[in-house]
Amino acid sequence: MEILETPYAELVHHLQGRYGKGAFHASALIREVMALGNPRFLEAKAFRDSPVLAAALGEELCFTPPVVEETVCREGVVKVLNRLSDGLAVESVVIPMKGYATLCLSTQVGCRMGCRFCRTGRMGLRRNLTVAEITGQLWNARFVLKRPIRNLVFMGMGEPLDNLDTVLRAIGVLTDVRGFSVGPRRITVSTVGLADEIRQLADATLGVRLALSLNASDDRTRSRLMPVNNRYPLAVLKQTLESLRQHTGLKEGVLLEYVLIRGINDQVADVKRLAAFSHGLNATINLIPFNPSRGETELVAPSDGEVNAFHEALAAEGLHVRRRWSQGEAMLAACGQLGSRASGSLLS
C-alpha cells in the first residue's frame, strides 16, 4: 500500500480491518508523511508506542515519491526532473510568488492530444502517472527542495482530464487537511477542453478551479492547432462552461489560456470572437506569448509590440486579461510549453 496515494478514509478502513486500529494511526501516518515530510514515519511516537503495529506496517506500506534527479533554476523558477520507478521522467516547475510558491504538476508521461505547439504532444502518450507520482511531485517540492508551495496548477506534461480518475484521487490526497492541506481554491486544473471530463470534474465537487487552454477563436484555427477541437468544438465548450456556471463543483469563473502565435490567432477578428466566446462566462484571459521550441515548429512567436496590441484590444472589449511577463513565468506558460527545449526542458 503506497502512502502517497491512499486517502485517509481508506487508511482508517484498512487499519481497522487488519489491525483493530483506526483514525489515530491513520492521522499519524498522513501527518508524518505529508504534513511533516518524514520518510521515516514509522519511527514517530504513535508507532514507537505500538511496535507490533509498526513492524507489520513496515512490511506492507511503501513510500515511493519520484526521485529528484536534476533541477535547473532560471529567474527564480525551478524546473525539477522527477525520475519515475520505471526509468521514465516528468518535469514539475516551482514558480516563486510573493511569500509563497506555485507548483506546476505533470499528470502523464507524454500526451496523446497532439497540440501542434507542444513538444510533449509530439512524444505521444507513454503512460499515465499514478497518484503517488503526482502527489510525490508536491512532496519533492516541499520536502526535498524546501519550497513553500501554496498553489498547485495541473499544467505540466499531459492532459489532466485524460487521466481523470487518478487526478481526482490525487486531488483528494492533496487537499486533506491532515496532510498536504492544499486548499481546493488554490488548485487549478487546466484542460484542452475534454467536455465530458470537465463535467465529471465538476460533478466530483472538489471545488477546484478550471482553466481551458483555448488558443484560438474559431474552429478552423483551433482544430489546426489542437486536434481535440474536432471532438469538442468551441460551441460545445462554450455550452459546457455556461452550464458549469450554475454548478457548485467548480469555483466560479474560468481561466481561458490563450497562447498568442503570430499570424495564426492574433488578428482583430480574433479579439472580437474571443470577446463573444467569453461573454457570460466570468472569464479571465491568460495571454501567453508563444515560446517556440527551437527548430521544432513552424509557428512563430509574436513580438512584444504585437502582444501589447492584442492585450490592449482585448481590454478595450471589456475583457479581463492577465499576461505573463517574465521569461521565468513563460517557462510555465500553458500546458504544452513545459516540455519545450526553448523553455529549458530537462528531458532529453
For residue 342, give every residue at least 6 positions away whose Cβ sits within 8 Å of its Cβ, in sequence order, or none: 291, 292, 293, 294
Residues engaged in binding ligand SF4 (CB under 6 A):
111, 113-115, 118, 120-121, 157-159, 192, 335-336
Exposure of 281 by Cβ count < 10 A (0-12 exposed, 13-18 middle, 19+ buried)? middle
Q: Least distance (Å) from ligand SF4 to the CB of residue 210? A: 15
Q: Least distance (Å) from ligand SF4 to the CB of residue 67? A: 22
Catalytic residue among 111, 115, 118, 335: 335
Residue number with CB closer to ligand SF4 (11 or 261): 261
Residue number with CB closer to ligand SF4 (92 or 120): 120
Q: Least distance (Å) from ligand SF4 to the CB of residue 135? A: 20
Instruction: State how far the Cα of 231 lies from the Cα of 162, in Å rounded to an integer.
Output: 14
Q: Least distance (Å) from ligand SF4 to the CB of residue 225? A: 9
Q: Least distance (Å) from ligand SF4 to the CB of residue 310? A: 20
CB 335 within 8 A of CB 190: yes
Residue number with CB closer to ligand SF4 (132 or 228): 228
What angle in degrees, to the nearest 10, is found between the helix axes of 195-203 and 164-175? 30
Residue number with CB closer to ligand SF4 (65 or 158): 158
Instruction: State how far the Cα of 128 lies from the Cα of 111, in Å rounded to an integer.
Output: 9
Tell me whether residue 115 is one of the annotated catalytic residues: no
Reading the block at residue 232, the C-alpha cell is 469538442
Q: Least distance (Å) from ligand SF4 to the CB of residue 174? A: 20
Residue number with CB closer to ligand SF4 (115 or 264): 115
Residue number with CB closer to ligand SF4 (34 or 153): 153
Residue number with CB closer to ligand SF4 (57 or 216): 216
Q: Least distance (Å) from ligand SF4 to the CB of residue 224? A: 13
Give the active site residues: 335
